[in-house]
Amino acid sequence: MTTKPDAAAHAAELEKLTQSLVREPARLAADETVAHWTHSERSFEVIAEADAVVLLTGTSGSCSDDWHSYRQGMVDTAERIAAAVGKRDTRVVYFSHVDADAGAGNWHLKAKGLAENVLARLHNSVIFRIGPVVRGSPHPLPFELSLQQRVPGETVLLAGDGGQRCSPINLGDVATIAEAAALGAGDAGIYELGGPEEYSLAELAQLVNGREVPLRCVSAEQFSALRGVPATMADLMTRDCAPQGVETTAARFGVQLTPLSLAWPLDDPDSFDEHQADIPAIAPSPIFSFAQNP
């Protein structure tokens, strides 16, 4: 029997090893998991031998709000990847943030921008600038929970004036495009990526609840104080986060973007599972960023 070339290629892909590098020990669906990867010689070997690397990093401390944590969590990890890859043609996929800029005053955007600069020097890096990520019930992500009315009649607190524009992307689409890029789809470069629809933050709060809910818009400083969110992330939430050319990017990598209507509105909070109920409505570092290293 003759095997078609595309089927043979697919079979070859299935035989490849999946190795995960994590900060803390974790049980993952991988052939090998290397804990404490930023201090492990084994992780350097894994990166150097890999055909592709998908880098998902955030701050090294979820509640930290100092430059050291942002640099250590994002820039230092990018430098370690770049050093291990060297001059090889390894495909490196990185999830950055819309408006990432090494000169930004916001530490999150600054760290993402510096990490981009490091990885852009590699021969075959693909950088996606994204914003809020959503998943829907029964396991909504922190960005969604921050907009949800937790009890009847509650006023939902928004950072900023509520008019900032956002294009949330479905977590499944992020995973799909990461896999496509890792397997060689698209060209090296920097791309903006988001969901297929753009709304104001106030509109998103109504959509996530599936009904009109009372809103209260406050300054970044007030939001930080009232919700215990680091100032850097509160500031980030007041900014527009509407990537451009998302449909073109999705088509380039063979991904069909998922509309918000397939994830929202969320189920009522009391329908979440016990594990989800223990997750606070506001989780500081991943509110707007998918790329958080376990």
Per-domain boundaries in the chain: 50-277
Please give the model's pTM, rounded to 2 decimal places: 0.86
- Mean per-residue pLDDT for 258-269? 95
The pLDDT, as a whole number, for residue 63 is: 55
**Average pLDDT score over the chain:** 87
Q: How far apart are the first and last CA of the chain?
A: 45
Residue type, 265: P
- Alpha carbons 277 and 294: distance in angstroms, whole number: 20
Tens-digit pLDDT profile for residues 219-251: 999 999 999 999 999 999 999 999 999 999 999
- Mean per-residue pLDDT for 166-176? 97
| Cis preceding linkage at 138, omega within 30 | yes
Burial of 38 (0-12, 13-18, 19+ CB in 10 A): middle
Q: Residue 156 forms beta bridges with which residues?
A: 215
Tens-digit pLDDT profile for residues 140-151: 999 999 999 999
The pLDDT, as a whole number, for residue 117 is: 98
Q: Does the structure show a pLDDT above 80 at 118?
A: yes
Question: Which residue in the block uniquely carries the two structure tokens 């007030």?
Answer: 222
Q: Does the structure show a pLDDT above 60 at 152?
A: yes
The pLDDT, as a whole number, for residue 111 is: 97
Which residues does 274 contact at the CB level (< 8 Å), separation at least 6? none
pLDDT-above-90 percentage for the chain = 74
Question: Which residue in the block uniquely carries the two structure tokens 């215990």?
Answer: 228
Tens-digit pLDDT profile for residues 75-113: 999 999 999 999 999 999 999 999 999 999 999 999 999
Q: Do 192 and 245 form a contact (C-beta atoms < 8 A)?
A: yes
Band of residue 272 on the pLDDT scale cut at 50, 70, 90: low
Q: Range with the lowest mean pLDDT among 16-20, 35-39, 65-69, 243-247?
A: 16-20
The pLDDT, as a whole number, for residue 166 is: 97
Q: Does the structure show a pLDDT above 80 at 4?
A: no
DSSP assignment string, the chain:
-PPPHHHHHHHHHHTS--EEE-SS----SSSEEESSGGG-HHHHHHHHH-SEEEE----SSTT--SHHHHIIIIIHHHHHHHHHHTTS--EEEEEEETT--TT-SSHHHHHHHHHHHHHHTSTTEEEEEE--EE--TTS--HHHHHHS--STTPPEEEESSS--EE--EEHHHHHHHHHHHHTT-S-SEEEE---S--EEHHHHHHHHHTS---EEEE-HHHHHHHHT--HHHHHHHTS-B--SSHHHHHHHTT-PPPPGGGT-SPPPGGGS-HHHHTS-S--TTTSS-S----
CATH 3.40.50.720 fits 50-277, yes or no: yes
Q: Does the structure show a pLDDT above 70 at 280?
A: no
Q: Does the structure show a pLDDT above 70 at 288?
A: no
The pLDDT, as a whole number, for residue 106 is: 96
- Alpha carbons 219 and 172: distance in angstroms, whole number: 32
Q: Do 77 and 244 form a contact (C-beta atoms < 8 A)?
A: no
Q: What's the token pair of residue 75? A: 């820039």
The pLDDT, as a whole number, for residue 24 is: 86
